[in-house]
Each structure stands twice: as structure tokens, then as C-alpha cells.
Amino acid sequence: MLWVVDTNLLLIARGRHEDISPGCVKICILRLTEIQKKECVALDDGYRILSEYLHKTNPKGGKDPGQVFLKWLLRNQNNRKRCRRVRVTEHSQQGFESFPDDPDLTEFDPADRKFVAVAAACPEVPPILQAADSKWWTWAEALARHGVRVEFLCPEDIKRFHARKGAA
């Protein structure tokens, strides 16, 4: 199976996200471990995703699950059985040519567009693994209309965060 992995999985697996349930931490660790054992990650050809991982997680000196995953990915980034490089082209309005041109996505976080662009540009259109970023919950339906599926690992946490933000 091929996946696009949002950065928050690595951070949650490292215990670096406030207010996350222990169950969410556990499922993020499990998914990252499963990917390392038998699955494949889609990355952009411009190292944007890897750069974000490296900015948020230092692979040196630690053995937490997020760091272990990043070390594994760095070792396997050129192994086609474990990592697929996807060409994405920048676009002045949408961020990337493969990012859906949809009025419901105009407020989509520019920093997260690279994950959608990779999924949409890849022939297999791999699902995006998302743990607890409630903004994605808002955009999942619009993305699905364009064939981009988001798999939410921690829907109860996301619903709780989303409800809290809506009440604020």
C-alpha cells in the first residue's frame, strides 16, 4: 500500500502534540511501524515533505517512533519498494498544479498543500494519513470530490478539536 504521511503522525508518535488521547498516540505509532515493515510512502520530488519532517523532527539522537520513522525514510528514500518520488509543479495561485482548483479549498493551509499535490499527482492517488489536524476534517469532502482521500486515524480527537475551535 502507498501512503502520503502528514507530519502530525510523526509528531504525535513522538508525544509532541498537546491534548491527544493515548489511543491516538498508539495508533500513530502502529501505522508508522506498519509502513516501515511492508508499505510505501509517496514524497514530492522537491524534498518539500522530507524537509518539513526534518524541520519538525530531528532524526539524530533519539529513538522515539517519529524519529525512527524519519530515519527509516531517509535510509529508504531511493528504494522504490519503500518510497515513491512524485513530480509536483508549483503554481502561483493554487500552490501546485495538481492541487484541486476548487472554491471550497481556497482557504486550505498553504503549508499542507504539498501533501494533497503529491497524492493528486501520483497515478495511484494514495490516501493521505492524517491524525489530529482538525482543519483537514473541514476539507475532506471537497478533496474527495477530486479523488483525494484522507484517512483519519484519530477521528474522535479531531471531532473534539474541531468542536472546540467552532465554539471559540
Report which residue type is found at 50.
L
Per-residue pLDDT for the chain (168 aa), expressed as one digit of tens each? Answer: 999 999 999 999 988 777 899 999 999 999 999 999 999 999 999 999 999 999 998 888 778 999 999 999 999 999 999 999 999 999 998 899 999 999 999 999 999 999 999 999 999 999 999 998 888 988 999 999 999 999 999 999 988 887 776 654
111 CB-near residues (< 8 Å, 6+ apart): 52
90-91/95-96 β-pairing: antiparallel
At the topology level of CATH, where does 2-167 sit? Rossmann fold (3.40.50)
Q: pTM value?
A: 0.93
- Every domain of the chain and the residues it spans: 2-167
Residue 135 dihedral angles phi and psi, to the nearest 5°: -60, -35
